[in-house]
Amino acid sequence: MGFYKKILLLGKDGQVGWELQRALAPLGELTALNRSECDLANPDQIQEVLEKYEPEVIVNAAAYTAVDKAEEDTIGARRINADAVGELALYAREMGSLLVHYSTDYIFDGSKPEAYVEDDLTNPLSVYGKTKLEGEEKIRAALCRHLIFRTSWVYAARGGNFARTILRLAQERETLNVIDDQIGAPTSAELIADVTAHALRDVLSGRAPGGTYHLAAAGETSWYGYAKFVTDRARAQGQTLALAADGLKPIPATQYPLPAQRPQNSRLNTHLLERSFALKLPHWQHGVARVLDEWQTN
């Protein structure tokens, strides 16, 4: 066994995976794999990869994240979000490795009036949320060393996300209807990756315990508030939008029917994470502004 930990990152090309490649690089001997190199749909390939690299830390950033598509593909979503995660957890249990994994606000039903804490009752409304919760539960049941970060409304400079979709639509349409009665905190993949690296170091050195933690940017907004922030800032940057000055319309979720039901309240209370790892989470606007600036200069 060498001085450096052997870290295996799965899902390296996703929003969070991409940022983890950067944030985990100085922490050990990092192997980062994409879907073609380790397909979570394929149990044999998972075992082959684990046996080949013998990771002391597994960071799983791969997931089935197509929320509406999952409604008609429960089997596919469950295989990636739950069964594959269970296989990683069993390996971690057997080998004494640490499994780092990500979950979502969508494991809650959103009926709580305050921000959710880690031990609040779960009750997912969607197949995506159900299968993500099953993944969490498989990890806890395996009794392996683990860190599970529940996050929300993830965006990144690279990859598909709400901010990018809204900017594209604002370039195409004069009016846009956006849901105003679902609230949460947009959280950047950059922040998630950096917090992961800090927390991972603390857990590996025994300074902090593993477990399940809520990880989201500070503050809160609705999807409408998020879209307003993005389009206002794009305009202030001098971008030409098709969207009229009063073209962004707040609507209730009932007027925007989708296959999957989303929670009304996606707010995550992050006090446990901040206390456990001595971290302060920045306001969501800070990260969104940064990504918009990055897009602007490209």
Ligand X SMILES: NC(=O)C1=CN([C@@H]2O[C@H](COP(=O)(O)OP(=O)(O)OC[C@H]3O[C@@H](n4cnc5c(N)ncnc54)[C@H](OP(=O)(O)O)[C@@H]3O)[C@@H](O)[C@H]2O)C=CC1
Selected from 8, 154, 273, 292, the binder of ligand X by CB under 6 A is 154
Question: What, of ligand TDO, ligand X, none, does residue 190 touch, CB below 5 to 8 Å by kind?
Answer: none
Give the CA distances from residue 210 to residues 188, 213, 277, in Å, rounded to whole numbers and listed in that order. Answer: 22, 9, 11
Selected from 5, 7, 9, 11, the binder of ligand X by CB under 6 A is 11
Parallel/antiparallel/unpaired status of strands 98-104 and 145-151:
parallel
Residues 148-187 that bind ligand TDO (CB under 6 A): 152-154, 162, 165, 169, 176-179, 182
Give the CB-nearest residue to ligand TDO: 104
Buried (b) or exposed (e) across 236-257, using 16+ Cβ within 10 A? eeeeebebeeeebeeeebeeee
Active-site annotation, residues: 128
Residue 267 engages ligand X in binding (rule: CB under 6 A): no
Nearest-CA neighbor of 67 among 262, 268, 205? Answer: 262
First and final C-alpha spacing in the chain: 43
* β-pair partners for 218: 283
Give the CA distances from residue 273 to residues 108, 170, 247, 279, in Å, rounded to whole numbers and listed in that order. Answer: 18, 36, 39, 7
Query: 97 vs 122, which CB is nearer to ligand TDO?
Result: 122
* Separation CA 38–CA 50 (nearest Å): 10
Residue 189 engages ligand TDO in binding (rule: CB under 6 A): no
Name the helix (H) or strand (E) containing 78. Answer: helix 74-78
* Separation CA 293–CA 298 (nearest Å): 9
Question: What, of ligand X, ligand TDO, none, does residue 165 touch, CB below 5 to 8 Å by kind?
Answer: ligand TDO
Residues 207-226 that bind ligand TDO (CB under 6 A): 223
Residue 67 engages ligand TDO in binding (rule: CB under 6 A): yes
Residue 277 engages ligand X in binding (rule: CB under 6 A): no
Cβ proximity of 104 and 96 under 8 Å: no
Residues 94-113 that bind ligand TDO (CB under 6 A): 104-106
Query: 39 vs 241, which CB is nearer to ligand X?
Result: 39
Residue 41 engages ligand X in binding (rule: CB under 6 A): yes
Number of neighbours of residue 109 by Cβ within 10 angstroms:
16
Cβ proximity of 109 and 126 under 8 Å: no
Q: Which residues contact 194 (CB under 8 A, 6 or more apart)?
A: 19, 23
Question: What, of ligand X, ligand TDO, none, does residue 221 touch, CB below 5 to 8 Å by kind?
Answer: none
Give the CA distances from residue 151 to residues 111, 165, 201, in Å, rounded to whole numbers and listed in that order. Answer: 18, 20, 19
Shortest distance, position 266 Cβ to ligand TDO, whole Å: 6
Query: 97 vs 266, which CB is nearer to ligand TDO?
Result: 266
Question: What, of ligand TDO, ligand X, none, does residue 39 touch, CB below 5 to 8 Å by kind?
Answer: ligand X
Parallel/antiparallel/unpaired status of strands 183-184 and 221-222:
antiparallel
Q: Is 84 helix (H, G, I), strand (E, B) or coil?
A: helix
Selected from 40, 57, 61, 65, the binder of ligand TDO by CB under 6 A is 65
Binding part of the chain for ligand X, among 24-32, 50-58, 150-158, 234-242 by CB under 6 A, reads: 150-158
Residue 53 engages ligand TDO in binding (rule: CB under 6 A): no
Binding site for ligand TDO (CB under 6 A): 65, 67, 104-106, 152-154, 162, 165, 169, 176-179, 182, 223, 256, 262
Q: Which residues are near ligand X by CB under 6 A?
A: 11, 13-17, 35, 39-41, 61-65, 80, 102, 104, 132, 151-154, 159, 189
